[in-house]
Structure 1
């Protein structure tokens, strides 16, 4: 260990910053966030630093650096562009046995400013000792994604209740179990939703019983369309909280690989043409059973759980059985497939509205469903159809019957956002035959409307298949990715 890590309490104490450019401004922000009284010495100041001085946030001393400024300091930062000046500041600090950070100069520094993950009062600092600050910043980005923003509020609540916790639970082992429950149980969820009073009440009830109940919960998590980079930060944290993961067929292995290593993963995917209702009943039973055993259950769905993902049905079932739940949205396939195929779903010149529809309905549902007939011959809408590749002939017939032209542009996006993505461009009149000819398979999304044609020019990811009917050569083209 080349450096001894410390956390300095600077509240009300003087920190001197020499230099007043943008680099110095970033250090001023950090020092003020820590509660320090900041004195800045510089010959000239950046407008942002001047504005802080005029607002009374800092004490700005314009002119040559005077070493006497350090006599009242607890910490010194040298942030000028002149290395000799920085050397003089570091020497003056050393004479007074003061720690001095010289920005981007570890040789002159006696202390380093780390990359910081701030969940006050919890603070995580990452340092490379000045050897590779870019690596430290990258590590901070990764660590940032793993820690819930509500952890700071949880730590503050635990700090306020610490005497009560010690009194109610004098045994160390019991206290440790209680703090584990605070991290994993409903208190953190209440704070995440901004319900501070509810969180405090939950903590108080648990203390009164001295044995917090094992309260399970279900998180409905949208995994996005397949690219693991499109998983949300909250979704990633949920995967690392999970005791049990109920995963859909369309969830990519790369996303499952990001989950907690010891989580139990159960495949509950529905194959096309399979017994969907019986499978859904099994999913309902698994969610309730594992949650009642005090486990954190992640119901992991491709795309977004509330867009054609039966998320509503599952929430209703959990509500009926008194199971706590949360919903973590994901990027739905329509947004991802359109973006990755270079197809804007709305456009001022071509589409002023957007309709999302599914070709799948309950077996006992009556009527074919009308995703939106034309009004007065206008065709200013983009239509996106989920789970409709096997029903392309019926979909085409319905749209033609509604008055849409056979030449209306269409696009089929297969495996959207994944390395094997293919986008087929055709027209409404030819799309069913072209999909069969190119063996387009589920998962695939159907985009119908004038905006679909823009993807022939704007595509940037995966393989693009232009058909002759769409006005382009029939051979595939590989776009940059």
Structure 2
């Protein structure tokens, strides 16, 4: 069931941001947090009169581009220019009226909007990445503290080995396709590897040791078949 908040009907999605542009208005701590996240996925532009030092550091070492501009006195044409080809616009200033103005032009251009001061088109979750595993957490603004608490809880048991296990499962699955014809049998072997504590323990040492443990399980099944 989709999450409904304030009349909005949110569906969690994973979106490919390759080649897309994200524009953030505001160079404070909120703008920094948003830029730190989106710079890993998309072309990220931050427009503001001032920038916190950490944002300047980020721009010097990543794909973040900074544009210095007094947004309060900026003509409409300049704001329209910034949002015209944006996929997502984030009004992150500390002035509601200015955020309203930016949102208006973003909607005319067809961009999605993520307001930091109210619910809007897009809610940005707290993200946990473990290799090929991505988890998004959100309370849709109802309780940022609960979102942070939940993330900390999840991070205690979703260890980096989860990413290694995803890689291992993918490699072993491809191996099994060449050695085991029965799809149900392949699935059973993969589950056995997934639930084998010795494989997880070996992954804590190195990926190679984990893979070798999994390979031993595969070989055991193949030998039985023979």
Please indicate the TM-score interval, normalised by the length of the shorter structure.
0.7 to 0.9
88, 104, 121: which one aligns with 2:132: 121
- Look up the match of 1:102: 115
Task: Return the alpha-carbon distance in structure 2 between the equivalents of residues 26 and 164 of structure 1.
Answer: 41
SS in 2 for 1:72: coil
User: Hey, what does 2:200 align to over in structure 1?
Assistant: 188
- In 2, the alpha carbon distance for the partners of 1:207 and 1:86 equals 58
**Residues 110 and 42 of structure 1: CA distance in aligned 2, closer, same or farther (over 3 Å):** same
Alpha carbons of 1:10 and 1:161: their partners in 2 closer, same or farther (altered >3 Å)? farther
Match of 2:89 in 1: 76
Corresponding residue for residue 150 of structure 1: 161
- What's the offset of the Cα at 1:190? 1.9
Q: Which has the higher helix share?
A: 2
Residue 106 (structure 2) aligns with: 93
Give the root-mean-square deviation of aligned CA atoms: 2.5
Correspondence 1:45 to 2:57: no
Offset, 1:86: 1.6
Answer yes or no: is 1:59 the counterpart of 2:70: no
Q: Is 1:14 matched with 2:18?
A: no
Counterpart Cα distance in 2 of 1:171 and 1:117: 35
1:23 positional shift:
1.2
User: Judging changes above 3 Å, is the alpha-carbon distance between structure 1 residues 54 and 142 closer, same or farther for their aligned structure 2 residues?
Assistant: closer
Alignment deviations for residues 177-219 of structure 1 (CA, whole Å, 9 cap, x no partner): 23322322233222211x2222223333433444699xxxxxx
Q: 1:46 to 1:124 in 2, by over 3 A?
A: same
Q: Distance in 2 between matches of 1:83 and 1:170?
A: 62
The residue aligned with 1:405 is: none
Aligned to 2:7: none
C-alpha distance in 1, partners of 2:42/2:147? 24
Q: Distance in 2 between matches of 1:75 and 1:159?
A: 33
- Which one of 210, 213, 222 corresponds to residue 202 of structure 1? 213
1:421-468: per-residue Cα shift (whole Å, max 9, x none)?
A: xxxxxxxxxxxxxxxxxxxxxxxxxxxxxxxxxxxxxxxxxxxxxxxx
Alignment equivalent of 1:27, drawn from 27, 34, 37: 34
Aligned equivalents of 1:212, 1:76: Cα separation in 2:
58
Alpha-carbon distance in 2 for matches of 1:23, 1:128: 18
TM (normalized to structure 2)? 0.79
Note the residue ranges of structure 1 that are not aligned, 5 or more in a row: 214-481
> Does the CA contact (< 8 Å) of 2:173 and 2:186 recur in 1?
no
Query: 1:25 Cα shift?
Result: 0.8
Residue 150 of structure 1 and its aligned partner are, at CA, apart by 1.0
- Using the TM superposition, give the Cα deviation of residue 69 of structure 1 relative to its aligned residue in structure 2, in angstroms: 1.8
Deviation at 1:77, TM superposition (A): 2.0
Q: Deviations over 1:218-260 (max 9, x none)?
A: xxxxxxxxxxxxxxxxxxxxxxxxxxxxxxxxxxxxxxxxxxx
* Matched-pair contact (CA < 8 Å) for 2:79–2:105: no
Aligned residues: 209
CA contact (8 A) 1:127 1:136 kept: yes
Deviation at residue 21 of structure 1 after TM alignment: 0.8
Taking the aligned partners of 1:51 and 1:20, their CA distance within structure 2 comes to 12
